Every structure is written in structure tokens, then in C-alpha cells.
Structure 1
Amino acid sequence: MSGYAEVLIDVANRRLDQSFHYYIPDNLVIHLGMMVVVPLKYRKVRGLVVSISSDPPELDGEPKFRSIEAVLEENYLIPLELIELACWLSETTICPKAQALHSVWPFLKGKGETWMTSMASMDDEDVKVLELLDPDTFQVLKTLNRSRRGGLPENVLLKRSGAKKELLEDMLKQGWIKKEIRFSAKAGSPDMNERKKNNIENKIDIDTDKDIDADTRNNIEQITAGSVWHITGTLSPAQEKAFQDILAFRNKNDGGTVLIHGITGSGKTEIYKELVAKVLAEGGDVILLVPEISLTSQISRIFLEQFGDIVGIIHSGISSGDKLAIWEQILQRNKRVIIGARSAVFAPLSNLKLIILDEEHDNAYKQDENPKYHARDVARKRMEDRGGLVLLGSATPSLEAYAAAQRDKIGLVSLEERFNQRALPAVDIVDMKQELASGNKTMFSMVLRNKLQERIDNGEQSILFLNRRGYSTFVFCRECGYVARCPHCDVSLTYHSHNQQLCCHYCNYQQDVFHRCPECNSRFIRFFGQGTQKVEEEVSALFPGVEVLRLDTDTTSGSREYNRILERFRSGEVPILVGTQMLAKGLDFPNVTLVGVISADQLFNMPDFRSRERAFQLLTQVAGRAGRGAKGGEVVIQTYSPEERSIQRAAKQDYAAFFWEEITYRKQQSYPPFAHIIRIMIFHEKEDRVIKAAQDLANSIRLVLADLNQEYVILGPAPAVLTRLKNEFRWQVSVKGKNPAVLRRIVHQGVRAFYLGTASSGINISIEVNPLS
């Protein structure tokens, strides 16, 4: 096959972020989506074939086309839809195409290795003579010829043969061996072939979740054997109406996006199940996204029980080999329902017709590394191209999504009552200023303390919420004012009592706790602030003999531990669960009748225009954990600002009122959704270099803005909220305006001009469209 191929090289470098054209030699058969090895200047790199033609492309001058050298994997072709999606992702998130490709197809990660191959057979007479005359050379050839892969990596050959590198160089010159570059994939086909031999792939998803019980596993096997999708038909009248409204919108608009706004406990998951069954019956495929890996286990059980082994589970916690096996089953249509966290949105389902984002408001759907995409945007792009439906579900939708629904850009379906018409929990807002004035200096108000005792006496359960892990938030010397800070980041160290360590929650720096001030040697050391460890300790002291569980990232090193804690609490054997925002999402405990918010103030006192929205969402979500069973629920919110509107609205679960108040403020300030923001973060180990680079970058963007109207403004340069992180100083420059395409063009031109100047040398930048933090 001869011809010409356009190849997108796999190099995450903005200067090389383009495609190159290569000649296809007669001995190679090339297809779209193949990974190939191509020459680039003086090295060999991997690339992705994005187009093929029989005629040479029309380029300036008289170009000389170099040839594609090898095909990496003939059997693994990247679907054209995902190639186009990666190009769109690169453009909209302003990142190199290579990085976008690694996100949409996670099996590109590998490295080039120097391999040695033998140029002589062991049967050659010249080789036989070497056994006596040059045994070291003979041993190298013998080792290579014994390899079943036609050669060995250089480092492996040196180890196995016992040869020195100088000998290999001499053998290369003499023609005994040949050097070549080979690329090894992170998860390769040999593992896949082995899985097929052992028929492991047909049960990988059940095996992935080791915590599935025997009854659930038996149900899955029965459903799979019968190839039926059991529909319960147990929707309430309100759920049935919502289900029919969603179908009507989809049929009328040939897909589109629908927001289902249902209060906590309204039963959105049951509607998801009915929609999935409907789409499957029509021959379509489904992706169901949850915001965090920890939630996949809980929701996957529900869907595995109903739909059996066509359900696959994808998230970053499973091994690359297991992920490759699931990918193969998706391409073979053995998996038609994919459940997972953010990255599962790229699952290559061939007839994808429905993508559901549960808890769509959650910030975890936004990737914080390149490409900095939002799963909601990717879902809408994929469904636009396929005529499918995107369903956004939340009790507290993002302002952007709800505003789009108010402007009829997307559909809106509401669930305004809890399943079985259960009442919302009663909320008591406690003013901690009054508690302090009455002499109560503990972290628990008398109201919360009494209600906790009532639940313990009645055999009911309680949840205590504080969105800060650790014991104390900072350590302070009362004599000289010294505060223990991270040497690598511009933050104070948090005290963790279980291991007597001071820890940085950003770079994981740790040091032993001190009892004398390092500056003045004073003994007057005070531990200020409170975290979940301290809450756990105080509860145990307040109620001796009562067991307390804690759920935060310190206690859940893996999904198994997370599930163990939740199962113990769900069984009813532990009365009180203390935790961070991990317990605010999608958890259902029928015996929980009390939720206590230890300190609501830290949620909205943040330097971010979205802080009130996040406070409202978290308070509403965590309050919704109470009263989900037959018994009614109560919520106690402790705060020093009882008049704060996000607290008042969350107490009544009045999303509409909060939305209109907040959206008015956003419009006055020209914040999203009334404008878009692109932030450029500048990093370097030397602060003066960062400041100079930020000023130069801002000037470069100002020159671009000079030709535009006043709708586009530059913010900064200014220090980032965390001015130093992991030994790097950070400044930022932001551009705000209404048209995202124009904003991207402004940033492109400004950054390009910046890199032509001397201030850019050694500077790293990170670009993010509509940052969430």
C-alpha cells in the first residue's frame, strides 16, 4: 500500500502540536486510527494516523516526504469519532492535541526503548567459531536468538548476557547486531490475548467490585444468562411524569440536554434505571457518570442487579489491563452500559444514545490537568454528533445548568416531593455567638448535644459534617506569633493527632509535631481550628462507650475501606458517623434521623465568587441525608452568621429563591454564566521570574485586546490564591468576555507573542477555560 498519511505526533509540546505528512511505503498497510512510528528530525516518535490519501498533499515549496517506519498495533484502531473528539477537546480547552488524545484513548501511554536484535543465526559457522574465539560476543548473540520477541531491550540484554555496553557498541560496528527504537504500550495486546484464552473478560466487571455480595452476584448471573433487563415498574406518579416528560423532550428534539431537578430523596436513580432500560430496548448504549470513584460501587450494584453483565465499570482506580479488557468488550458490544467517574465519558460505545451525569453540579466533573475539560461539555458534544440525550441530575444544579434551562437552551424536569411523599427534614439554625455568650465554649451547641443523646437513646443514627479533615487547622505560638507553615507551599500545616504529625494537604509534606516553639522556644503552643479527627475525639468524650466512625480521605485509603465504613454504618451497629463532603453525595441511610453541621461558616468564607453556591449545595446535600426512611429527620446547622442567605435558603431547600438571588449578583458582576473566563497560571521556582513573566504576558494580551471592543477585559496580573505550591510561585492573568471562541483566540495570540519574548524562558503556564476554583 503506497500513499500519504497525515500523522498527529504524540508529543505534548505546543511548538510541535500539529500534524505532519509522511509517505506510506509499499510494505505497510495503514488505516485511520493506527498508531505508527515516524521520524521527526533526529529521533523516532509515535503518531496517530488521522487521514490517508493516494496523492501527496498540497504544501508550500517542494517538500520531501519521509516514510512511516512501522505500525505499532495493527489490531487496535482508535475510532474516528474519538479522534475528532480529541481535536475538539484540544481546541476548546487550549491544550496540545497529544494530551487530548491521551484522555480520550487511555492506552497511548508508553515509552520508546532501545532494542537490540541479532543479525546472525546461531547455525552460522562464523557464530559457532565465536564460542571459542570470543565467548562474550557469542553469549550476547545466544541471548538475543533465544528471545521470542526477535530482540531485547538494551538494559535487559546487558543484564542477561553479562556484557558491558562497550561490547555492544563494538558488535554494532561489526554488524553482529542492530539497534532500533520500539514503543511499549502501557497496556498491551499480549495481556488481552491471555485474557481471551482464559475467558476472563466476560466476568471482569463483577470481579472488579470485590464487595458485591453473593445474592447480588447470583442475580447478575441469572439476568445475564437470560439476557433480560428487569424493569421494576415501581415509579411513583411524580417519577412517572418526570420519566415521560424526559422521553417527550428527547423525541421532540432528537436528543438534546435535559436537567432533572429533584429534591434530595426524590428518587432520581429509579428514573435513571427506567431510561437506561428504554434506551437498551431501542438498541442504544448508555454512560452513567458519578462524580467520585467511591460512588461507583454503590450505584453499580443497583444497575448490575437489573441489567447484568452488560454493565461495565470504568474509573482511574482499576488497572490498565482491566481497563483494556473492558474497552475491548465495549468495542465488541459485550458492554452496553458503562458506569464510572469523569473519564468514563470517553467510553467508545458504538451506538451511544444516553449519557447521564448524576450530581451534575459537582466540581469533580472538571479535570484539573490538561486537557482541563468538563465532563458535561464532553457529554453534550458526543450527543450532539449522535442525536442522543444528555441527562443532568441534581438536587442543587449548577447555576450555569439551571440558567440554561430558564432560557430554554436545555429542558427542565422537576421532582418536588420525596419518594413515598416523605417529609423533608426540619432544620434548626443555631447561632454560635449566643452559645458562646451563654458560656458554651465547645464545638457542640446544646441543641445538637441533646438531639444526639436522643438518637442514641432511641437506637437511631446521626451524621456530623465538617468539611475539613485533620485535628487542628494550624499550630500557633502565643508568645511570638509563630505559625507552622509548609516549606514548599504558602499554607499552614494541619495537625493530625493519630500519628502526631503536621501535614500539608497540598504537597503531603510532613513533620513531627513540636511542643516548644522553633522560633522562641516557648512552651505556649496552641492548636487552633477543628477538623474531623477533633470532632471524632470530642464526640467520643461527650458520649463515653458510644462508637464513632469517621469518613474522610485519611480513613479511606481505597474503595474497600470506604465500603467497609459505609456498610458498618448502614448495618446500624454504629450510632454516629463523622465526615467531610464525602458523605454528602448520593448516600442513603434509612436509619439516619439527625444531621449536624459543625461549622457552616468555613463553606462560604472563601475568596471565590462561587463560594455561596458551593455552600448552598453542600448544606442542602448533607441535610438531605436525614429522614430518608420511615422516620422523620432533623438537621442542626451551627454558624456564627445565621442570617447568611445561603444558609437560610438551604435550610428551606429553596433552590429557586437562592438561584434568583445569586444569578442577580452574577449578572451585576458579569460573572458566569453571563461571561466566560480564561485563566492563565504562570509557574516558576523564582518569584521575581514569575512576576516578570506575568507582567509580560498581560502586556502581550493587552496588545491583542487593543483591537477589540470593551466587552473583553483583562484581570491581573495578580498572585494566585495559593501563591506558592510545591516549591513553585504562582501568578495568574485572566481574560473575561462573552464569546468563548473570541476569548480563546485572544489567549492563543497573547501566549504566542509571550513565548517570542525572553521572559518566557523556563516559565511554565497552565490555561483553563472557566475555572471552578
Structure 2
Amino acid sequence: MSQLELQNNTSTERKTWFADVILPVPIPKMFTYRVPMEFNDIACIGARVIVQFGHRKILTGVIGRLHETPPAKYEAKYLLELLDEEPVIQPLQINLLQWIADYYMCTLGEVLNMALPSGLKLSSESKVQLHPHFDYYESELDFNEKETAIIEALLKDEVLSYGDISKLINQKTIYSLIKSLVYKGAVLLFEEVKEKYKPKKETRIRLSQALADDKKELESLFESIEKKPKQEAILLHYLQEVPVFNHPEKNKEGIEKSSFTQADLSTSSLKTLVKNGILEEFQVIISRFDSYDAALKEVTLTDIQQQAKDEIMSSFQEKDISLLHGITGSGKTEIYISLIQEALQGESQVLYLLPEIALTTQIVSRLRKIFGDKMGVYHSKFSDNERVEVWKGVLSGKYQFVIGVRSAVFLPFDNLGLIIVDEEHESSYKQYDPAPRYNARDVSFVIAREHHAKVLLGSATPSIESQYHAQNGKYGLIQLNKRYGSGELPDFKVADMVRQKNKKLLKGEFSTELIEAINQALSLKEQVIVFQNRRGYSPYLMCQECGWVPKCENCAVSLTYHQYKSELRCHYCGYKEQVPSACEACGSTNMKTIGFGTEKLEEELSLLFPDIKVQRMDLDTTRKKNSYDTIIKDFENGNIDILVGTQMVSKGLDFDNVNLVGIFDIDRMLHFPDFRSYERTFQLSTQVSGRAGRREKKGKVIIQSRDTEQPILSQIITHNYNAFYKNELAERSLYGYPPFTRLINVVIKNKEAQLAKTAAIKLANLLKEQLGAQRVLGPEEPLISRIRNEYLMEVVIKLERSKINLTKVKNIIQEMALEVLQEKGLKTSRIIFDVDPY
């Protein structure tokens, strides 16, 4: 019997239903509960339920399966509550959650916890009430002063939370008091579960229907309140806003209550009119998002863009995934818009993924003008309630098209036709912590397969893997090699920092080429972007006498100096401390900042160019909800002359007046110890360079380097992606890296360094026995060997792309990890799996 048939059966056709429930716990299975008879006709797959888990925990779960088979090894408890009569998660999504759990080697509960917005989860809070058999006035028990206060408050309010009681008696720790009252039989404890999501409501006012229907009655009313000018003013204000006799249907909607206070009218008179039944006060649920008219204008494509679009459509006839390799400024967005419009006209849903929240700011305002209220936006800067509203908007069909960051892959689509993954090469699509450690680009392929949809990958600098698959025919490949309109690619210049330092030409850490180019741009009233992929004031402080460097007390890293807040901060665990006035090793006050972060660049540029406005855009300046929008709008409006930033400024943004980009320190990116360092440097440099000269005027890019002879620099300068790709592919083939292999990174953590090492050695040896020594690398200490007071060791597993059973290998890895954790002395270790880690 199918699941849908099972759901449609009535309670008379079957005696007992059982529900397998996905719970947000790191245990690799679903849990079976008995469905109460009253829920038989409405329980459905994808609905949320409240269940008891263990002796005391109350959890929110989602029904993953309905069936008639009781569990063999335990007696099923009843579902406590059914929260939804319609699914909040589609059946296709449950398949996706299971695939993610299997592929990324985590539990279904961990995936659910990530997928479901916090506002759709429930919170439980302990509550206290009087015992129904307790009579305070007849009781012969002794109660102290605080117990008495609690009982008297309960007699009045019936139910109190722990927090209420704590405030009542002005005492933080109240458990002993509650325990005493329970022991004396005075109170009972229970868990009250509350749904976090609350719809936004608006209070409105309307004229009573009897008055709205009878003009004479209304005229009579005005005569009766002739000597009450405040009440008369309120009624006149309402009738000006709602002409009830010309448009009687508008009275039902009324007007916002706030409009009366905005008009400086008497609130007490308004209350009187409501009390007397002349006006009615009511509430309506409203959207948290502004309303936009759906213009749905056709986008005019150039001949080159139209040709690219035709090639995409032709490619989709044969392949489900296609790669649009279009240089920066080539007009990929217009092609996306045209494809989205066609998909929506065909009644399909569309998901448009972007790697950074920063990118949504400009693109959203642009797409709103075209798609209006049909488009939803989904990212982590939204509040819980806003994200739930978008989730429910997708479920209800309000949003046919969603633009969002990686978490948008979890939205409850039921009819996806097209997924666009813009800047597909971006590492931001990869989730690193906590589990599931998924890549949204790769997950989109699975979603598309479930929905029989198409995926379009877009990039000016495709990932090596995507380009490899496109070159080998697995994906379709469409090239777009000309900038949109009359735009040209910028000119490049490399500043030799070693030569300039030897000749003492540097101003701080700025080359003469970059300073002169900035001066010229500012004199022409043009704007400048300076890119440095490191936030903070400087990487670290150092004592100039003994070389002491302040370190994080939880992690094996130096603390980054942030001048703005006058603190040292760890970018791994968040630990912070005040800047030391003297060296803690030798006592010297000769402390110096080493290196440049975005904050220090901002300060240096402000000193070099005191009459212009410099602004920084990095994680520190964009923590607040609307920070991105504010900075970008200020830059667009010309209120900022130089924008200094991390990779946030490198992609997707389109500014008419930017004709100069400075890449401050390319060497640091190139020499980062990661097999992808050259790839990421090429991508970031190309992306940030694309911000220069995007209209009629040709832009300029200055790259500062200490090694100007590096081959990759000439590839960046000449925009020669193909040469870069061939070199990189040869290196990957030689050393056995993706796309020729799959990688699984296994991280072993323990608060004791020796235990972490012992567990890692044992695990590596077991894996070598099972998989072969050539496939198992390590164990080794990672670059950062201690984070949040846990010592780390890594084992890397390299697997061939073909002729290997990946599922079987993953099962072996998990079994060997479990064997290590069961060994005495190693149980305190944690073993984390990261599939496709880089």
C-alpha cells in the first residue's frame, strides 16, 4: 500500500496507525510513535508533531512515514500533539533530507535541524501550577515567606513560569524552593510548549456596518456629537480616508489605527467611539515584507545574449545541468531573468541561488521591479518570523520564485522547473559547521533530479570540477566572451612591492602605482574599491623586543587586532580581550601591529586622503540586518569615495562610477596552504577586477605583489582562464586531487592533545587496513591544531571517482570511527566527517 493511499484511509478502515518521526537529535534513525485515534484522518507525512523523547524531553518532530507496523523492540508512545493538518515539509523534501544525511555522513535529525527555520520549531518551558487537591486555606503545612509568596501568586495567576517566580521573589536559583513545594504536595510542574512563529498583526478601525449602511443614521450621529469636537474630528478623518457611501465595500477593510495618532487625534475619544459601538476595532494578519507591484516586463537581450540563451535551452534538451561561462560584466543576469520569466509562465517554480547575502542587495531591488510579489527572498539576516513567512509563502504558492543563499535549498518546493546557481564556484555554498556539511550547489543537482528540473550554473571563473564536467560532456557548456554593451575588460598593472620597498617608495604598504591611480580617480570624481581578504586592523600584535605574540586561550592562533573596538579577537571561537599595554613576556611597551587588515587599510587611506570618505565592508561592519544595504546604497549614491573590503566586494556588485580596483596583497592568498589556493586567487582577483569599468569607460586594476614573475599573475592579467584551467588540471591529475578523486576529511577532536592523537592514529590504522594505505592520508595536525579548547587531528581519505562503492566506503569509515569511540579512554573524543571538504 502506498503512503498516499495509507494517508487517505479513514479510521474505520484501520485500527492503529504508527508514525515514524524525524527528531532534531544526532541519532541516525527515525522514532516510531502511535497515532491517537483523533488524529487518524488528519495525520500526514511532512506535518509537525510534538512527542515525548525519553523521560522528560518534549521535542518537535516531523512525520517521515505512516504505516501499520508497531516497533519490535519497544512499546510506542503516543504522539502528544499534531501541529499541522497540512504538511510543512513536502514528501520530496524528506527524500532530499535523507539523501543529505547519507551523502554527508550525518544524521537525519541534524539535517532537519538545519533545514527547518527556527520559527517552525517549538520551545518548551517549565511551568508551575497549584496541585488540584491542595487547599492552601485548610493546609496545616508550614510554608516559609518565599513559598507563601509563590502560592499566593499562583492563587491569583494560576500558572507561573520559572522566570516569573524568579522575578517574584527576587532570587536567581529557585529549584530548591520548587522542589520543597512539590514535596509538600502544593504544586505540580508541567511543560508548556509554545510555537515560536507569530504572525504579524495590524490593528485597524472601521465604522460599524449599521452606520455605514444608513446615511440618515450617520447624519443623526454627527448631530449628537456636535459638542464633542474630538470625536467629530475622528469620524471626519475616517470618512475622508474611507468614503463609505461612494465605496461601501471599503468599510470592511477599514484603516490602520495608527493613522489616527499620526493625524494627532485624541486616543481617548477613539476608545470612547469604539466602546459605544460607533467604530469597531479589529486585527488582521499582514506580511512582514513590503508589497511590490508585479511589472513582469520583458527583458531585451542583445544578439549575443539571445544566442547564449538559445544555446542554454538547446543544452537543456539533452542535459539536466548546464554551465554558463560568461566573463564579468557580460550580462548573465539578463539571461537569468529571461529564463526565470519563461519558467514562471510555464507554471514552474524557480530557485535562484547566490553565495553571499551581500549580493542579494542590488539584485533583489532589480528583480523586484520585474517580478514584484511573486518573488521571495530567503537568507540568514532575516528574523525567524520573516523566514517562516517565506517558507509558508512557498507552501501556499504565494512565492513562485525565490532568491536566496545556500539555506534556500531546504525550502518546501513542490514544482521546481529551474534552479540557477550564480557564482557557482564560490566556497560560500559550502556549510562547514555544524552538520550537515553540505554544498548547496551539489545539493541543487539532487533537488533538480527529484523535481525533473534543470540547473544552470553561472560563473566568470568556473570551479575546476564544473569546467571539467562541462569539457567532458557531463554538463552542457555555453560561453559568453564579450562584455555587455560597450563595456571592455579592465587594464591590469602589477606593482613590484620588493623593488618599491628597496627604493623606499612605499607609503605605508601602498605602492606608488596604487596611490597615483587613486589620486587620478578621485580627481575625476570616480570611486575606488580596495580589496584585502583579511578583516580586522592587523593580523596580530608583536613585541619588538622579544617577539611575543598574544594568542587565543582556546585556539592555536594569534589574536587579530581590531582597533575600532580596541580589542584582540579570535576569528575562530570569538574569544576577545583588551589590548595589552605591555608585553606579557618581557614587560616592554614596544608593541607593534604586523600586517594589514581591512580596518587598518581604512585608517591608512583616511590619513593619505583626508578629504574623502572611506568605508569598510567586511563581516565586522555588516553584522546588523540592514548594514549591507546601507553601505551599498551610500556607495551607489556617491557618499563613499573608497570602499575597502574583503571578498564581499569582489562579486556581483555593479557600480557605474567605479573605474579603479586595487588588490592589496595577492601573495597571501596564493601561498595559503590549500590545494585550491591558486584557483581561489584566480577567481577572487578576476571577480573583484570585474567591478572596474563596467560601462563605457575602461577600468584599471592595480595588483600589489612581492613576486611579479608568478605565471598565475599573467593569466589573471590576460583574463586567460583556459591557460589557468589547463595548468591547474595537470597539477590536480599529478597529485590526485578533485576532479580526479573524491575527498573525505575526518576530524578527530578531544580536549586532551594526546587522546586526540591516539584516537587519530588508531582510526587511520583501521582505515588503512580496510581501504588500503594508498587511500588514507595522515593522521596530521591541521593548520590550526586547537579550536575552542579542543585539540584537532585530521585523516584525509582519497577515493577514485569510478569503480568504487562510495556508500560502502562511507559505512566502513563510520563503523571504524564507532570502533575507536567504544575503546576505553577514547570515548571522550568526537569524530566529524566532512565529505567534499574544500
Normalised-by-shorter TM-score class: 0.7 to 0.9
> What residue in structure 1 maps to residue 289 of structure 2?
205
**CA distance in structure 1 between the aligned counterparts of 2:148 and 2:610, rounded to whole angstroms:** 76
Quote how far apart the aligned CAs of 1:509 are.
2.8
Cα distance change, pair 174–167 in 1 and its aligned pair in 2 (3 A): same
Aligned residue in 2 for 1:293: 357
Pick from 476, 484, 492 the counterpart of residue 411 of structure 1: 476
* Equivalence for 1:276: 340
- Per the TM alignment, residue 481 of structure 1 is displaced from its structure 2 partner at its CA by 2.2
Selected match of 2:25 from 12, 20, 30: 12
- Checking the alignment, whether the CA contact within 8 Å between 2:129 and 2:154 is kept in structure 1 is no
Q: How many aligned residue pairs are there?
A: 732
Q: Describe the shift of the 1:681–1:669 C-alpha distance in structure 2 as closer, same or farther (beyond 3 A).
A: same
- Residue 352 of structure 1 aligns with an amino acid whose one-letter code is L
| Identical columns (%) | 34
- Say whether residues 1:737 and 2:799 are aligned partners: yes
Q: Which deviates more, 559-568 or 129-138?
A: 129-138
Q: Report the more deviating stretch, 440-449 or 109-118.
A: 109-118
Q: Name the structure 1 match of 2:65.
A: 51
Q: Which moved more, 1:136-145 or 1:279-288?
A: 136-145
CA distance in 1, matches of 2:166, 2:514: 69
The code of the aligned residue for 1:691 comes to K
Aligned residue number for residue 326 of structure 2: 262
- 3-state SS of the aligned residue for 2:587? coil
Aligned pair partner of 1:401 in 447, 466, 472: 466
Partner SS state of residue 498, structure 2? helix
Q: Which residue of 1 aligns with 2:34?
A: 23
What does 1:558-597 align with in structure 2 at a 5 Å threshold?
A: 558-597=624-663
Alignment of 1:115-264 (within 5 A): 115-116=127-128, 120=132, 143=154, 153=161, 156=164, 179-185=189-195, 187-188=196-197, 191=199, 198-201=283-286, 203-206=287-290, 220-221=292-293, 223=294, 229-232=296-299, 234-253=300-319, 256-264=320-328
Residue number in structure 2 paired with 1:105? 116
Does the alignment pair 1:364 with 2:428? yes
**CA–CA separation in structure 2 for the residues paired with 1:4 and 1:117:** 34
Separation in structure 2 between the aligned mates of residue 40 and residue 258 of structure 1, nearest angstrom: 45
The 1-side partners of 2:170 and 2:702 are apart by 71
Answering whether residue 47 of structure 2 is matched by residue 34 of structure 1, we say yes
3-state SS in 2 of match to 1:680 = strand
Cα contact 2:539–2:597 (8 A) shared by 1: yes
Does the 8 Å CA contact 2:18/2:69 hold for their aligned counterparts? no
Shift of 1:727: 1.9
Question: What is the CA–CA distance in structure 2 between the aligned matches of 1:455 and 1:165, rounded to whole Å?
Answer: 67
- Say what the alpha-carbon RMSD is for the aligned residues: 3.1
Aligned in 2, Cα 1:530/1:717: closer, same or farther, shift over 3 Å? Answer: same
Q: Which moved more, 1:743-752 or 1:273-282?
A: 743-752
Which letter does structure 1 place at the counterpart of 2:33? Y
TM-aligned CA distance change 1:267 to 1:483, over 3 Å: same
Deviating more after overlay: 636-645 vs 742-751: 742-751
Cα distance in 2 for partners of 1:17, 1:48 equals 15
1:726 counterpart residue number: 788
1:439 is the counterpart of 2:504: yes
1:128 Cα deviation from its structure 2 partner: 10
**1:332-356 deviation digits (Å, cap 9, x = unpaired):** 1011111111101111122211111
Structure 1 counterpart SS, 2:365: helix
Give 1:211's aligned residue. Answer: none
CA distance in 2, matches of 1:434, 1:162: 69
Q: What is the identity, as a one-letter code, of the residue corresponding to 2:519? A: Q
- Asked if residue 534 in structure 1 is aligned to residue 544 in structure 2, the reply is no
Partner Cα distance (1:584, 1:5) in 2: 52
Q: 1:259, CA displacement in angstroms?
A: 1.1
Alpha-carbon distance in structure 2 between the residues aligned to 1:724 and 1:64: 42
1:511 Cα shift?
3.0
Distance 1:559 1:159 in 2: 32
| Distance verdict in 2 for CA 1:595–1:11, change over 3 Å | closer
Q: 1:323–1:727: structure 2 CA closer, same or farther, 3 Å change rule? A: same
Seen in structure 2, the aligned counterparts of structure 1 residues 230 and 544 have a Cα distance that, compared at 3 Å, is same
Deviates more, 1:79-88 or 1:552-561: 552-561
Give unmatched runs, 5+ long, in structure 2: 1-10, 205-281
- Secondary structure of the corresponding residue to residue 37 of structure 2: coil
**Could you say if the C-alpha distance between residues 577 and 655 of structure 1 is closer, same or farther in structure 2, counting changes exceeding 3 Å?**
same
Residue 209 (structure 1) aligns with: none
> Which residue identity lines up with residue 640 of structure 2 in the other structure?
V
1:17-67 alpha-carbon deviations (Å, 9 max, x no partner): 21233333434433222333445553444343222223546x5xxx45323
Q: Structure 1 residues 128, 528: CA separation in 2 closer, same or farther (over 3 Å shift)?
A: closer
* Distance in 1 (alpha carbons) for counterparts of 2:494 and 2:170: 75
Deviations 1:183-211 (A, max 9, x none): 434x24x547889985554x4333xxxxx
What letter corresponds to residue 680 of structure 2 in structure 1? R
SS at match of 2:783: strand
Is 1:74 equivalent to 2:77 in the alignment? no
Match of 1:210 in 2: none
Most deviating of 235-244 and 37-46? 37-46
Aligned-partner Cα distance in 1 for 2:20–2:601: 57
CA distance in structure 1 between the aligned counterparts of 2:68 and 2:578, rounded to whole angstroms = 67
> Could you tell me which amino acid in structure 1 is paired with residue 815 of structure 2?
Q
Change (3 A) 1:325 1:695: same
> Could you tell me how far 1:628 is from its partner in structure 2?
0.3
> After superposition, what is the alpha-carbon deviation per residue over 1:389-428, rounded to whole angstroms, capped at 9, x for unaligned?
1111111111111111111111111110000142110111
Aligned mate of 1:87, from 88, 98, 107: 98
Counterparts in 2 of 1:110 and 1:40: CA distance versus 1, 3 Å: closer
Supply the AA of the counterpart residue of 2:759: A
- Secondary structure, aligned partner of 1:419: coil
Kept in 2, the 8 Å contact 1:488–1:724? The answer is yes
Supply the AA of the counterpart residue of 1:229: L
More displaced 10-residue stretch of structure 1: 528-537 or 288-297: 528-537
- Provide the C-alpha distance between the structure 2 equivalents of 1:538 and 1:480, rounded to a whole number of angstroms: 27
Quote how far apart the aligned CAs of 1:612 are: 0.4
Unaligned runs of 5+ in 1: 207-216
Contact 1:399 1:663 (C-alpha < 8 Å) held by counterparts: yes
> Whole-Å Cα distance in 2 between the matches of residues 165 and 649 of structure 1?
68
Answer whether contact 1:701 1:751 (CA < 8 A) is retained. Answer: no
1:345 counterpart = 2:398: no
Corresponding residue for residue 684 of structure 1: 750
**Secondary structure of 1:498's aligned partner:** coil
1:484-523 equivalences in 2 (<5 Å): 484-514=550-580, 516-523=582-589
Is contact 1:36-1:48 (8 Å) kept? Answer: yes
Distance 1:514 1:116, change over 3 A: closer
Q: Distance in 1 between matches of 2:543 and 2:464?
A: 43
Q: Secondary structure in 1 aligned to 2:679?
A: helix
| 1:391 maps to 2:445 | no
- CA distance in 2 between counterparts of 1:17 and 1:182 reads 28
In the alignment, the residues of structure 1 paired with residue 22 and residue 572 of structure 2 have an alpha-carbon distance, to the nearest angstrom, of 34
Task: List per-residue Cα deviations over 1:522-562 (Å, max 9, x = no partner).
Answer: 34433221222332233233334233222222332324232
**Contact persistence 2:92–2:414 (CA under 8 A):** no
Confirm or deny: 8 A CA contact 1:4 1:21 kept in the other structure.
no
1:604 CA drift (Å) = 0.8
Q: Which letter does structure 2 place at the counterpart of 1:701?
A: L
Q: Which amino acid aligns with 1:688?
A: Q
**Greater mean deviation of Cα atoms: 733-742 or 358-367:** 733-742
TM-fit CA distance, 1:329:
1.8
Q: 1:554 to 1:586 in 2, by over 3 A?
A: same
